[in-house]
Structure 1
Amino acid sequence: MILEHASLQVKPGRADDFEAAFAQAKTIVSAVPGFRRLSLSRCIERPDAYLLLVEWDTLEDHTEGFRGSDGYQEWRRLLHHFYDPFPTVEHYASVDRA
């Protein structure tokens, strides 16, 4: 299992619009082979900051399968204009889990 980690900084005043767009966009990513689950959390101290965690079967399910899909173009259209700066996405492999 691979964990995708993205720290999302949404433009000030756009949080409600972002959350509404994300509700649409999550149906796109959840249909991709290799997708397991996701969570989107909003920061308490910085309400325009979000943490997106997505579990994938393999790294390639995200980097090639999702990002190479037509659905990714729709994901980009729905969400990418909300970010400033553009998020850094990192991938983690589990070392220990309780």
Structure 2
Amino acid sequence: MILEIADIRIHPGREAEFDQAIQHGLATVIAKAQGMRGWKVNKCIETPQRYLLQIFWDTLEDHTVSFREGPLFAQWRAIVGPFFAAPPLVEHFTLLAKS
């Protein structure tokens, strides 16, 4: 399993709109993606314009090829992209240890 973490910064004052948009995008677009196994979104307390999106994928290619190069990516970005203050920092992780 691969964990994608996207560090998202949005424009100030648009938090309530983005809260709804990201949840809508996850439920209607990301949920359809091949190899997607779940997600979590956390909103920063100290910096309310900062969000950490975690998406669990079967393989790296499910995210980088099937999703990013397929039609769902454009749909996703149309929903959440207008809120971005800067491009999200996206990285992928494998599990090293768990309690």
TM-score by length of 2: 0.94
Q: 1:37: which partner in 2?
A: 38
What amino acid is the match of 2:40? S
Deviation at 1:18, TM superposition (A): 0.8
Note the 1:9-88 alignment, pairs <5 A. 9-26=9-26, 27-88=28-89
What amino acid is the match of 2:86? P
What amino acid is the match of 2:8? L
Partner deviation per Cα, 1:12-33 (whole Å, 9 max, x = no partner): 0011111111122102111111
Partner deviation per Cα, 1:29-86 (whole Å, 9 max, x = no partner): 1111100000111101111111101100000000011112211111011111211121
Look up the SS of the partner of 1:12 in the other structure: coil
Question: d(CA) in 1 for partners of 2:24 and 2:69?
Answer: 19
Deviation at 1:94, TM superposition (A): 0.9
Question: d(CA) in 2 for partners of 1:22 and 1:45?
Answer: 20
Equivalenced residue count is 98
5+ long unaligned stretches in structure 1 = none
Identity of aligned residues (%): 38
Question: d(CA) in 1 for partners of 2:32 and 2:9?
Answer: 25
Q: 1:8: which partner in 2?
A: 8
Look up the SS of the partner of 1:30 in the other structure: helix
Moved over 2 A (4+): none
